[in-house]
Structure 1
Amino acid sequence: MSLPFIDLKSQYAALKSSVDARIQRVLDHGQYIMGPEVKELEEQLAAHVGVQHCITVSSGTEALLIALMALDLKPGDEVITTPFTFAATVEVIALLGAVPVYADIEPDTCNIDASRIAALITPRTRAIMPVSLYGQVCDMDEIRAVAGSIPVIEDAAQSFGATYKGRKSCGLSTFGATSFFPSKPLGCYGDGGALFTDDAALAQAAREIRVHGQSQRYTHIRVGVGGRMDTLQCAVVLAKLERFDWEIQCRLALGERYQQALAGLPLQRLAVRPDRDCVWAQFTVMVENRAAVQQALQAQGIPTAIHYPKPLHRQPAYARPELSLPHAEAAADRVLSLPMSPDLSEAQQDEVIAALRRALEA
């Protein structure tokens, strides 16, 4: 391929001295588990989001799992969520023996349709888990209003750094959960994630759960997991935070440039609501004849991806054949993600746009 789908090499080149120095510091002090960088990162991330508590964990999936465990989710409880997301969102619900309940998505944003949630609430509903897909926050105020006293967990794996009505993603609900998988807006060099909350009791529960349910060494007061984020990965994220605000501005500008350049082409651009932004963890459009378009782009050296090709109620592990969720099903057949990263140059972006235009005209 002539250009990368996500350009992590250029990012590292720009941050090499900081990343290397941060890693070397960990190698020198040797505290690879729960070293000082863990607390330092948690303090910086909490300040960035504007919440009282940040708990780093071993992955974005673990963040969701620990959030549900902190809320004491039990087998048979119901969690309302979206069918159009990565499997981890529903995986953690199933792992705890709970039942995912699907609300269809908005056809223009691919986020969960808040207006469909109320009809799905039952006495067994224990949580609502919206996913801020592609980097745009869901209708969180509407979701929280419908939820009432039901906890809301924002799955913000793709939206860290995004804003909603002037507030940061991850600071909008009972728990915010994000991922530091390398391809995410703020990524490490392996797996990592974080939870955010203003609730001190839930924060304490999450901290205990991530260390096997310990309140102190070898005192296990609850069932937990091995969910700590490695010190080395925290060091990498600390280095990347140095230019994260700049990267977000680049993502916003490149996203807007894509949106303008693709206007008028025979495809559907995702809508971005006027009271929020989108950090474009993936820049995604919807096209007809996706396979042919993808093949034509590949022939021109343009990498693409599909996020996601099959909704969760059609996945074998989570199949609900009786459900019809037409917007999620239609999106799964049409979505196509184009190259996007802060270091994507305008010349490279123009190459993608020209290639897409040719592919759509073929």
Structure 2
Amino acid sequence: MRLIEYENLAKLNAPFEDAFRTQFEAVLQSGWYILGHQVQQFEQAFARYCQAEHCVGVANGLEALVLALKAYEFPAGSEVIVPSNTYVATVLAVLQAGLHPVLAPPDMATYNLDPQALPQYISPRTVALMPVHLYGKPCDMPALLSIAQAYGLKVIEDAAQAHGASISGQKVGSFGDMTCFSFYPTKNLGALGDGGAITTNDAALAERLRTLRNYGSQQKYYNQLLGHNSRLDELQAAFLAVKLPELDRINAHKQALAARYLEGLKADFIKPVLQEGYTDVFHIFAVRHPERDRLRQYLLDRGIKTEIHYPLPPFRQEALQGYFDPEAHPLADTIHRTILSLPCSFAHHPEEIEQVIEVMNAF
């Protein structure tokens, strides 16, 4: 039985290598490596793809979240609601912006923020919702936007895993006040290093973000704001420009692999749910099983590598001890204890997925 890797970035990027080399030579010969033509061109193209008016390229997904929060200048200590089962970066961004993260429970079917549970977590200090489109499944944005409007809250989406996801044809990146993306190499739209972006339909916010990412400066050596050095560099923008036109094809490939899992895996495994009108992009194909660790070892013994997204919820991370009551989030604990990510990459072939299904169904 052949080894099935969870991910292989060299194989994933192999179809784009010639175009990458061409782009590298163009950037090298241009002599302009920071905030130049490549970044501007990619920002415009990615905004169009996301059905948004503006895109601001930044250094990575975490910085996108931090800058989005800082752009509003919320009072220190204001509360931002985030999912209790998110990746730690969402929580770190709130803390690094000088704000207080409030953990709200997920819907156990989608693993995204549960709109029905949300109102009880909103207080007079709440200023924003930060929904996370986890694993590439869009959150219930119509319901979340309705709640935000009712309570006068901003909506800053964490779409680090959801490039190209949509609801009734409307792309993630065009719903909230701002949407934050990561271009980490494993993402459906991945760079060859770190990168991130923020999309928005607000021209004033976009201009403020461009200032914040560049030392708070609009004119060289003159600083209007207390800013960051957080810029998407020319080379990564050039690489992303190669892959952006192929993003729908990348997503379609992963969706086809996911469809095989959904059809072939037996009912012992809790599989992702499909919702009418929702287009999931399956950045991660995750199942749940009460004997997750034994299942993972069983697969590894048979040459199938998997991942866990994520072994620990944010409220059980050592760095966040004292910020949260670790016993107050049983749903998130259940997810993190039972979740397992299966191979589902642009570099995988359908035959490999069938092999994974066969082995899993024998567990």
Tell me the alpha carbon deviations over residues 158-183 of structure 1, each in whole angstroms, 9 at most, x when there is no partner.
01111112100111100011100000
Q: State the match for 2:344 in structure 1.
A: 340
| Contact kept? 2:168, 2:277, Cα under 8 Å | yes
Alpha-carbon distance in 1 for matches of 2:231, 2:26: 19
Q: In the TM superposition, what are the counterparts of 1:144-155 in structure 2 within 5 Å? A: 144-148=145-149, 149-155=152-158
Q: State the match for 2:28 in structure 1.
A: 27
Residue 103 in structure 1 maps to residue 104 in structure 2: yes
Alpha-carbon distance in 2 for matches of 1:327, 1:271: 17
Residue 195 in structure 1 maps to residue 198 in structure 2: yes
Task: Give the C-alpha shift of residue 244 in structure 1.
Answer: 1.5
Tell me the alpha carbon deviations over residues 67-125 of structure 1, each in whole angstroms, 9 at most, x when there is no partner.
00111133211000101111110001111221101110111111111112112111211
Tell me the alpha carbon deviations over residues 200-253 of structure 1, each in whole angstroms, 9 at most, x when there is no partner.
111111100000111211221111111001111111101112321211111211
Q: State the match for 1:355 in structure 2.
A: 359
Q: State the match for 2:250 in structure 1.
A: 247
Match for 1:327 among 300, 312, 331? 331
Q: State the match for 2:6 in structure 1.
A: 5
Q: Which amino acid in 2 is paired with 1:33?
A: I
Q: State the match for 2:137 in structure 1.
A: 136
SS of aligned partner of 2:304: coil
Residue 213 in structure 1 maps to residue 213 in structure 2: no
| Contact kept? 1:74, 1:96, Cα under 8 Å | no
| Contact kept? 2:83, 2:113, Cα under 8 Å | yes
Q: Which amino acid in 2 is paired with 1:187?
A: G
SS of aligned partner of 1:34: coil
SS of aligned partner of 2:124: coil
SS of aligned partner of 1:127: strand
Name the CA shift for 1:322/1:133 in 2 (closer, same or farther; >3 Å): closer
| Contact kept? 2:316, 2:326, Cα under 8 Å | no
Task: Give the C-alpha shift of residue 355 in structure 1.
Answer: 2.0
| Contact kept? 1:154, 1:173, Cα under 8 Å | yes
| Contact kept? 1:153, 1:174, Cα under 8 Å | yes
| Contact kept? 2:58, 2:230, Cα under 8 Å | yes
Task: Give the C-alpha shift of residue 3 in structure 1.
Answer: 2.5
Residue 66 in structure 1 maps to residue 70 in structure 2: no
Alpha-carbon distance in 2 for matches of 1:170, 1:242: 17
Q: State the match for 2:287 in structure 1.
A: 285
| Contact kept? 2:55, 2:200, Cα under 8 Å | yes
Aligned residues: 358
Match for 1:176 among 168, 179, 182? 179
Alpha-carbon distance in 1 for matches of 2:125, 2:267: 46
Q: State the match for 2:89 in structure 1.
A: 88
Task: Give the C-alpha shift of residue 43 in structure 1.
Answer: 0.6
Q: State the match for 1:159 in structure 2.
A: 162
Structure-2-length-normalised TM-score? 0.96
| Contact kept? 2:67, 2:212, Cα under 8 Å | yes
Tell me the alpha carbon deviations over residues 332-358 of structure 1, each in whole angstroms, 9 at most, x when there is no partner.
110000111123111111121122223
| Contact kept? 1:83, 1:312, Cα under 8 Å | yes
| Contact kept? 1:42, 1:55, Cα under 8 Å | yes
| Contact kept? 1:82, 1:103, Cα under 8 Å | yes
| Contact kept? 1:37, 1:234, Cα under 8 Å | yes
SS of aligned partner of 2:286: strand
Task: Give the C-alpha shift of residue 324 in structure 1.
Answer: 1.7
Structure 1 unaligned segments of length 5 or more: list them: none
Q: State the match for 2:303 in structure 1.
A: 301
Task: Give the C-alpha shift of residue 8 in structure 1.
Answer: 2.3
Q: Which amino acid in 1 is paired with 2:315?
A: H
Name the CA shift for 1:322/1:311 in 2 (closer, same or farther; >3 Å): closer
Which stretch of the first structure deviates more once superposed, 7-16 or 190-199?
7-16
| Contact kept? 1:77, 1:125, Cα under 8 Å | yes
Q: Which amino acid in 2 is paired with 1:59?
A: N
Tell me the alpha carbon deviations over residues 293-326 of structure 1, each in whole angstroms, 9 at most, x when there is no partner.
1111111111111111222122222242265222
Q: Which amino acid in 1 is paired with 2:291?
A: N
Alpha-carbon distance in 1 for matches of 2:108, 2:158: 19
Q: State the match for 2:236 in structure 1.
A: 233
SS of aligned partner of 2:94: helix
| Contact kept? 1:151, 1:174, Cα under 8 Å | yes
SS of aligned partner of 1:284: strand
